[in-house]
Amino acid sequence: MTRASEKYFPYGLLSPALLLFIGLLFIPLVLTVILSFYSFNSMSGIIPTFTTHNYKAIFTDPYYIGIFGRTGGMALLVTLLCLLFGIPETIILSRMKSPWRGLCLVLILGPLLVSVVVRTLGWSILMGREGLINDFLVFTGLADSPVRMLYTMTGVVIALVHVLIPFMIISIWASLRKLDPWVENAAQSLGGSSFVVYRRIVIPQLLPGILSGSIIVFALSASAFATPALIGGRRLKVVATAAYDEFLSSLNWPLGAAIALLLLIANLAVIMGANKLIERKYKHIFH
Amino acid sequence: MSYLQIAGLGKDYGALTVVDSIDISIEKGEFISLLGPSGCGKTTTLQMVAGFATPSRGSIVLDGEDITREPPERRDIGVVFQSYALFPHMTVSQNISFGLEMRGLGTRERSQRIKDALELVQLPGLSARYPAELSGGQRQRVAIARALAIQPRLLLLDEPMSNLDAKLREEMHIELRAIQQKLGITTILVTHDQAEAMTMSDRVALLHAGRLEQICQPYEAYENPRTLFASTFLGKANIIRGKVLSTTNTTVDILSEDIRLTAQFNGVEPRTDQAIAFIRPEKIRIGTEPSDGHKLHGTIANVVFLGSNWLYEIDTSLGKFKVVRQNDVNPGTRLDDRVSLSWNEADLQLVHAE
């Protein structure tokens, strides 16, 4: 092989994947960016101009600001709940003996094999007025009348936590597997009780996994579409469903594109900010 | 009563007996090595003393207090682990500080103890570093400082040198021994390295298959091993198996391949008509001509130059013999030379098969 062909050979190998990304990600993204600067008129439809009107509308209209705020709050709440359940769950999982650990891991990760839509519909059956949860609450007397869960934030958050918690667990699990089990023994021999050992020795070492799990869960719940659409319905809008409605109901594609892009930018900012934090804070601890 | 008394200590994992029954008494300030090959139960024994493993039987009494069932955090025992087990998310001084905080010491007392501990292991000035920023040798020093800073009643060392290179290891042997003597702290070292056990400890406890084979001073252990395992594990040994011909009060004559040899009892009496005797390679003299008092003839099968010594392998009618000769003069021997081997009668000693 000549020098030149040797040099370009890796690019040749890369080209199928590169073409795929350019064709399916880069070009549509550029088109969306262009579209977001077009203007829209209900009489004449989309007009190819260059205007920041769409962005101005989003930033000034309390309706859209409310949607963005709600989405951020929801993503934050889902992330916190995933942490609250995910950390103990992972630690318990790691303490389990051989057959049970595998079984429970499959049980936790199993839902990932089922489509989000199917899982969400399952939740809406459970949460309905005549659903299992309400039947149980009324039957045991814990509630006088059926509790409203469908079309509420509570319902959306519960379903999203269920959908996204496996990502948190996988991520913490990966961190946990890397721990030196003797470190816990060392802390005990120095006089640390089990609680102190967890709080000061184990959990801090899991922080990289906890943070990356949080990033994944936050990003996925902020951009979640199916669950908020099916359980939250048309009225409890989040950014993803709002963009969808602009495209398909109002047919205001430029505004929809601007909403979608702002979601992308906000998500990227959160992810990159958190990543920077992890890198700066844990640079000298983990190679 | 001894400072630390381990009595009838044993550990089973299901049907597998890892430690059978071990009795050791350790005096205050003593340095004891638990020496044995991997799987002999030495690490399990140490874990039971530290409290990380629950004994299946027996008891551990430290300074008059029965700690057999006490959780590790209440034993007040410092442990240095093979992997050092430093807290990766804490700096050196935070690592050392942890045990002191658990003891409720104030800031002033803590920083003084951290400073003292780091000076003791000759690591001042590294207190703000994280473990990942230290070399292997430095990490080990931090682990030692962390274990000593709490001023424990007992120091346990679990193969602490096995991750160091040979030269550093030898330096640490001497340094750790000096620290131990300076503080007068009772110490148990677990190791599979017989040189490490011999250079550092007051007494060596030789473990084999979950049992204590022998516990005595290093010199005694090397010179007078009781069992075949002890003789071969602690240094090199030439083994002779033969039939017992006759016995006196202190010696036994054995016949092996038509060669009659006299071996010393040294506390080991022959139990059957079969006997096993051993002799250290450095106790054998090698001669080029048959001389009076020689015991064996042979030919040189191999010569290895080890710097301060020559290691010979001699083919004899009793099998291959290892002979070590000090490098005081170039011996000028060649392969296949015929040589005669001789030794002082006291150096061929009887050992038990197990």
Question: How many structural domains compose chain B?
Answer: 2
Q: What is the pLDDT of residue B51?
A: 94
- Residues A198-223: what's their mean pLDDT? 92
Percent of chain B with pLDDT over 90: 51
Structural domain includes residue A161: yes
Reported confidence tier of residue A285, pLDDT bands at 50, 70, 90: low
d(CA A193, CA A179): 19
**Count of residues for chain A?**
287
**Maximum Cα–Cα distance for chain B, whole Å?**
77
CB pair distance less than 8 Å for A186 and B51:
no
CB B217 within 8 A of CB B203: yes
Structural domain includes residue A287: no
Domain end position, chosen among B193, B209, B228: B228
What's the pLDDT tens digit per position in B29-43?
Answer: 999 999 999 889 999
| Domain identity same for B81 and B57 | yes
- Chain B: residue nearest A207 by CA? B89
What's the pLDDT tens digit per position in B93-139?
Answer: 999 999 999 999 999 999 999 999 999 999 888 999 999 999 989 99
Lowest pLDDT segment from A88-102, A158-172, B220-234, B240-254: B240-254
Judged against a pLDDT cut of 70, whether residue B290 lies above it is answered with no
- Residues A65-89: what's their mean pLDDT? 94
| Contact partners, residue B277, CB within 8 Å, separation at least 6 | B239, B240, B242, B254, B261, B263, B348, B349, B350, B351
Judged against a pLDDT cut of 70, whether residue B293 lies above it is answered with no
| Domain identity same for B213 and B341 | no
Judged against a pLDDT cut of 70, whether residue B59 lies above it is answered with yes
Give me the phi and psi of B104, to 5 degrees please. 70, 30
Q: Which of A186, A192, A285 sits opposite B79 (nearest CB)?
A: A186
Judged against a pLDDT cut of 60, whether residue A1 lies above it is answered with no
- Residues A210-236: what's their mean pLDDT? 91
Partner B, chain A 161-200, Cβ-Cβ below 8 Å: 180, 182-183, 185-193, 196, 200
Reported confidence tier of residue A90, pLDDT bands at 50, 70, 90: very high
Taking CB atoms and an 8 Å cutoff, what residues of chain B touch A196? 102
d(CA A186, CA B191): 19
Domain CATH code at residue B289: 2.40.50.140
Higher-confidence residue of B165 and B87: namely: B87
Reported confidence tier of residue B257, pLDDT bands at 50, 70, 90: confident
| Domain identity same for B71 and B105 | yes
Judged against a pLDDT cut of 60, whether residue A95 lies above it is answered with yes
Helix-, strand-, coil-residue percentages of chain B, each rounded to 5: 25, 35, 35
CB B254 within 8 A of CB B242: yes
Domain CATH code at residue A250: 1.10.3720.10
Q: What is the pLDDT of residue A260?
A: 94
Q: Considering chain B, what is the average pLDDT of its residues?
A: 89
- Residues A153-175: what's their mean pLDDT? 93
Domain end position, chosen among B184, B200, B228: B228
Question: Which amino acid, A76?
Answer: L
| Domain identity same for B319 and B202 | no
Q: Which of A189, A201, A285 sits opposite B78 (nearest CB)?
A: A189
| Domain identity same for B46 and B153 | yes
Q: What is the pLDDT of residue A286?
A: 59
Structural domain includes residue A30: no
What's the pLDDT tens digit per position in B305-317?
Answer: 888 888 989 888 8
Q: What is the pLDDT of residue B226?
A: 87
What's the pLDDT tens digit per position in A242-274?
Answer: 999 999 988 899 999 999 999 999 999 988 988
Partner A, chain B 107-126, Cβ-Cβ below 8 Å: none
Question: How many structural domains compose chain A?
Answer: 1
Judged against a pLDDT cut of 90, whether residue A145 lies above it is answered with no
Domain limits for position B166: 4-228
DSSP B200-227: H-SEEEEEETTEEEEEE-HHHHHHS--B
| Domain identity same for B144 and B46 | yes
Q: Which residue has the tokens 């101005």?
A: A56
Judged against a pLDDT cut of 70, whether residue B1 lies above it is answered with yes
Q: Quick one: DSSP state of residue B88?
A: T
Structure tokens at B151: 């001023």
Structural domain includes residue A131: yes
Pairing of strands B154-158, B77-80: parallel
Query: A196 to chain B nearest CA, in Å?
Result: 9
Domain limits for position A252: 63-282
Judged against a pLDDT cut of 90, whether residue B184 lies above it is answered with yes
Question: Which amino acid, B239?
Answer: I
Domain CATH code at residue B174: 3.40.50.300
Q: What is the pLDDT of residue B291?
A: 62
Q: What is the pLDDT of residue A284?
A: 65
What's the pLDDT tens digit per position in B296-307?
Answer: 888 888 888 888
| Domain identity same for B37 and B175 | yes
pTM, to two decimals: 0.82
Residue A124 neighbours by CB distance under 10 Å: 18
Query: B119 to chain A nearest CA, in Å?
Result: 20
CB pair distance less than 8 Å for B88 and A183:
yes
Task: Give the gyration radius of chain A's Cα atoms.
Answer: 24
Burial B171-205 (b: 16+ CB within 10 A, else e): ebbeebbebbeeeebbbbbbbbbbebbbebbbbbb
Structural domain includes residue A18: no
Reported confidence tier of residue B292, pLDDT bands at 50, 70, 90: low
- Count A/B contacts: CB-CB distance under 8 Å: 77
d(CA B158, CA B187): 11
Domain end position, chosen among B228, B247, B262: B228
Predicted-complex ipTM score: 0.83
What's the pLDDT tens digit per position in A196-208?
Answer: 999 999 999 998 8
Reported confidence tier of residue B240, pLDDT bands at 50, 70, 90: confident
**Count of residues for chain B?**
354
Judged against a pLDDT cut of 90, whether residue A108 lies above it is answered with no
Taking CB atoms and an 8 Å cutoff, what residues of chain B touch A185? 50, 52, 72, 79, 81, 85
What's the pLDDT tens digit per position in B139-153?
Answer: 999 999 999 999 999
| Domain identity same for B28 and B116 | yes
Q: What is the pLDDT of residue A2?
A: 65
| Domain identity same for B155 and B58 | yes
| Domain identity same for B220 and B303 | no
Structural domain includes residue A126: yes
Burial of B76 per CB tally in 10 Å (0-12, 13-18, 19+)? buried
